[in-house]
């Protein structure tokens, strides 16, 4: 009787139609620019899908994140361990076993979870996946950075309604890897005046942001920083060593990463991966650096982690739990002087995430005082606003595949620079017996950009139709959705972030 009941319960999970639900009502159905369909995938081809299981105590977790990130809280800096987080958010046994039985009954194989048990990744044939996910239809696409191949469904999927309390979404169906912001610009022309720079290098960054030769890691603490590479993007040890030989002569540094986690490909190095590692390790100089390598097609850009804070230059830049870095360029492309908005810098307001409380005052001030705003119908004024900070993103030198490449630009350049500088600040905090900074945003907004150069000139060009006449958001005094609070002035930023 028990076996029959179990069988009927599993059978009920496969019933679609009126008993189905859409876990992602905003599923993307249009093909992004730069991608081409190669047609339906063979029904027996294998693919990997990730199932996000419903977490427990999400509200409590949000409260704890706020408490450990707010300098005014008695819990500030008292971070949870991974074991603590696991105990808090781990899905209920009912959720885990219900989803696991559903997948196994559908023929899923080689399922594996994570420590917190809130994700299950399984292999299925295309035929099995299309039966499992009602409405899905898998096609192969090519495009994006590096002309990579991905398998996606151009149609929305539905799940049995009985799974609604247990599954939040299924990853690997719709979202395409975003296009990198990096590009190589033509070299600007100059008359050859003395005292000029010819592209951004570590020494230019250190000069602009007021770092001395002593502003490097000690190499003796348990401080570390890390980035992750995706989309078949790899760095080469030899490129990093050559980069430091060419550009790292005036500061102590490490010329190799401490550890690579995952599979490091043997193909050509990617410019973005090369840039990430080279500028994270030159800005956060002489600090142990790890690289997490994943050949998968589910993400782009890099996470930068130092201590317990996170940065990301691309999606999900609008997440309220990520410190997002915008881009600037020199007012004169050859002089290390004031910065203005880089025309490729992004920013704005999220249509997905609501505006977090830590930035409400700053955003309200911007909206009420800015003389140049796009029409209100073009942005969600109540959404998460970004970026939070900025750094130079224009005209970088990168060594990739043994070749020094000039004039590389994009917010993927500004992100590792800012992350590396905060690694140095974490070094000082650890040496003085304090915890690392953790999630920076609540403190950053409470201190109203103290320790940063306020960038007040320039607009980004994301809105180009006649109605807005090419006018995107513009920078101004204080926070703005182009450069955030501004770019780092290292000694001032260290002073304002070293205590408590």
Binding residues for Ca(2+): 454-455, 478, 480
Distance CA 257, CA 243 (A): 13
Nearest to 441 by CA among 414, 458, 470, 418: 418
What secondary structure letter does DSSP report for 438? -
Which residue's entry shows tokens 């559908």? 106
Nearest to 159 by CA among 48, 12, 8, 22: 22
CB 133 within 8 A of CB 106: no
Parallel, antiparallel, or unpaired: how do β-strands 304-306 and 259-262 relate?
Answer: unpaired
Nearest to 276 by CA among 216, 320, 321, 231: 231
CB 229 within 8 A of CB 289: no
Detail the residues annotated as belonging to a binding site: 454-455, 478, 480
Which of 293, 412, 414, 462 is catalytic? The answer is: 412
Distance CA 160, CA 13 (A): 5
Which of 239, 276, 297, 339 is catalytic? The answer is: 276
* DSSP class per residue in 295-329: --SS--S--EEETTEEE-SSSSTT-TTSB-EEEEE
Active site residue 412: yes
Which of 130, 272, 297, 342 is catalytic? The answer is: 272
Tokens of 179: 């296009």
CB atoms inside a 10 Å sphere around CB 155 = 17
Q: Where are the beta strands (DSSP E) in 366-445?
A: 383-386, 389-392, 396-400, 403-409
CB 455 within 8 A of CB 358: no
Tokens of 386: 């970004």
Signed CA dihedral, 304, 300, 231, 462: sign only: negative
Active site residue 361: no
Contacts 24+ apart (CB under 8 A), 478-481: 478/362, 478/365, 478/366, 478/448, 478/449, 478/454, 479/359, 479/362, 479/363, 479/365, 479/366, 479/445, 479/448, 479/449, 480/347, 480/366, 480/370, 481/347, 481/348, 481/349, 481/366, 481/385, 481/386, 481/387
Which residues are catalytically annotated? 272, 276, 412
């Amino acid at each position: 009787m028990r076996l029959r009941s179990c069988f009927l319960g599993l059978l009920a999970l496969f019933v679609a139609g009126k008993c189905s639900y859409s876990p992602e009502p905003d599923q993307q159905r249009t093909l992004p620019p730069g991608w081409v369909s190669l047609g339906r995938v063979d029904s027996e081809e294998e693919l990997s899908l990730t199932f996000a299981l419903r977490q427990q105590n999400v509200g409590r977790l949000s409260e704890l994140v706020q408490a450990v990130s707010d300098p005014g809280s008695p819990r500030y800096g008292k971070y949870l361990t991974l074991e603590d987080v696991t105990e808090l958010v781990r899905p209920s046994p009912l959720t885990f076993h219900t989803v696991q039985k559903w997948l196994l009954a559908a023929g899923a194989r080689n399922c594996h979870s994570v420590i917190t048990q809130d994700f299950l990744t399984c292999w299925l044939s295309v035929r099995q996946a299309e039966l499992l996910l009602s409405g899905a239809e898998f096609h192969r696409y090519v495009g994006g950075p590096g002309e990579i191949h991905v398998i996606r469904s151009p149609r929305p999927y539905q799940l049995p309604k009985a799974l609604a309390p247990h599954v939040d979404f299924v990853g690997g169906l719709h979202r395409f890897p975003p296009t990198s912001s990096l590009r190589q610009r033509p070299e600007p022309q100059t008359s050859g005046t003395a005292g000029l720079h010819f592209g951004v290098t570590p020494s230019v960054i250190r000069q602009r942001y007021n770092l001395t030769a002593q502003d490097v890691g000690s190499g003796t603490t348990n401080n570390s920083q890390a980035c992750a590479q995706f989309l078949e993007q790899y760095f080469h040890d030899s490129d990093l060593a050559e980069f430091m030989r060419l550009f790292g002569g005036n500061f102590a540094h490490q010329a190799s990463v401490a550890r690579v986690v995952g599979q490091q490909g043997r193909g050509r190095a990617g410019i973005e991966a090369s840039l990430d590692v080279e500028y994270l390790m030159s800005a956060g100089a002489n600090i142990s650096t790890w690289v997490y390598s994943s050949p998968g097609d589910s993400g782009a850009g890099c996470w930068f982690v130092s201590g317990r804070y996170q940065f990301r230059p691309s999606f999900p830049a609008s997440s309220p739990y990520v410190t997002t870095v915008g881009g600037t360029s020199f007012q004169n492309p050859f002089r290390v002087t004031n910065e203005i908005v880089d025309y490729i810098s992004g920013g704005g307001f999220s249509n997905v995430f609501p505006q977090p409380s830590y930035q409400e005052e700053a955003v309200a001030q911007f909206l009420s005082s800015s003389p140049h705003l796009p029409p209100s119908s073009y942005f969600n004024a109540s959404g998460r606003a970004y970026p939070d900070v900025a750094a130079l993103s224009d005209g970088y030198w990168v060594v990739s595949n043994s070749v020094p490449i000039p004039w590389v630009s994009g917010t993927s350049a500004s992100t590792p620079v800012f992350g590396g500088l905060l690694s140095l600040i974490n070094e000082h905090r650890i040496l003085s017996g304090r915890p690392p900074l953790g999630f920076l945003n609540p403190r950053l907004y409470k201190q109203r950009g103290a320790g940063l150069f306020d960038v007040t000139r320039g607009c980004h060009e994301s809105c180009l139709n006649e109605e807005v006449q090419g006018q995107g958001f513009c920078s101004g005094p204080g926070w703005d959705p182009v450069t955030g609070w501004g770019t780092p002035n290292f000694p001032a930023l260290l002073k304002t972030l070293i205590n408590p």
